Amino acid sequence: MSNATTAPEANPAALGLVGFGLTTVLLSLINAGILPAAGESVVIPLAIAYGGTIQIIAGLLEVRSRNTFGMTAFLSYGAFWWWFALLLMLGHNGILDLTGAGTTIGVALLLWGVFTFYMWVSTFKLSRTLFLIFLTLWITFFLLGAGALLAMPQLSQLGGWLGLLCGTLAMYGSFAIVTNATFGRTVVPLG
């Protein structure tokens, strides 16, 4: 019998959170009006590769970890980023006619807000960092959705600013998980 200790299983949340966070920060910089709207073309491949695919991989790894919350969150938001990227690509290339779709896009974002709100309720039993990520995210979706639905760009811009906070919190969560796992103890608190 070996006395060697085995390393703990890797936490896929570190990967999923940074994929979500980094992509969210970049898009939110555009929504907040800090970067130009033409920058959405840069977000599209990032949304597919990192926000979408990486989160889907993290979600599938969460299945192995038997983490229902992580699985649902990462698979869902990975699919969100694919939806967003496809919507932009197909719309900008004339494959989809989005000229009158503003209110429908607004309702879709509100529905993402509803989903995120119910996911937020589960964070009451999780870390404070996840609580804050999901709190800022459901409010962000409601602001972006209301901005699109009511044709009020100020709400969308406010959603961009809150999205910046949300994405930064997600990147912080990833940083904490990676750092704490590397050091084998809590160095960066998650709350």
Q: How many domains does the structure of the chain reveal?
A: 1
Please check whether residue 5 lies inside any domain of the structure: no
> What is the pLDDT, as a whole number, of residue 9?
86
> What is the pLDDT, as a whole number, of residue 4?
52
Q: Which residue has the tokens 């969210």?
A: 24
3-state SS record for 13-80: HHHHHHHHHHHHHHHHHHHCCCCCHHHHHHHHHHHHHHHHHHHHHHHHHHHHCCCHHHHHHHHHHHHH
Ranges under pLDDT 50 in the chain: 1-3
> What is the pLDDT, as a whole number, of residue 102?
87
Please check whether residue 99 lies inside any domain of the structure: yes
Provide the whole-model pTM.
Answer: 0.93
Please check whether residue 187 lies inside any domain of the structure: no
Read off the DSSP letter of residue 123: G
Please check whether residue 185 lies inside any domain of the structure: no
Range of the domain at 108: 13-179
Please check whether residue 118 lies inside any domain of the structure: yes
Q: Which residue has the tokens 């969560």?
A: 173
Please check whether residue 60 lies inside any domain of the structure: yes
Please check whether residue 84 lies inside any domain of the structure: yes
Q: State how far the Cα of 58 lies from the Cα of 17, in Å rounded to an integer.
A: 9
Cα angle at 81 between 144 and 20, to 5 degrees? Answer: 90
Rounded to 10°, the helix 13-31/128-149 angle is 30
Please check whether residue 113 lies inside any domain of the structure: yes
Q: Please count the other Cβ atoms lying within 10 Å of the Cβ belonging to residue 58.
A: 26
> What is the pLDDT, as a whole number, of residue 5?
60
CATH number assigned to the domain comprising residue 30: 1.25.40
> What is the pLDDT, as a whole number, of residue 80?
98
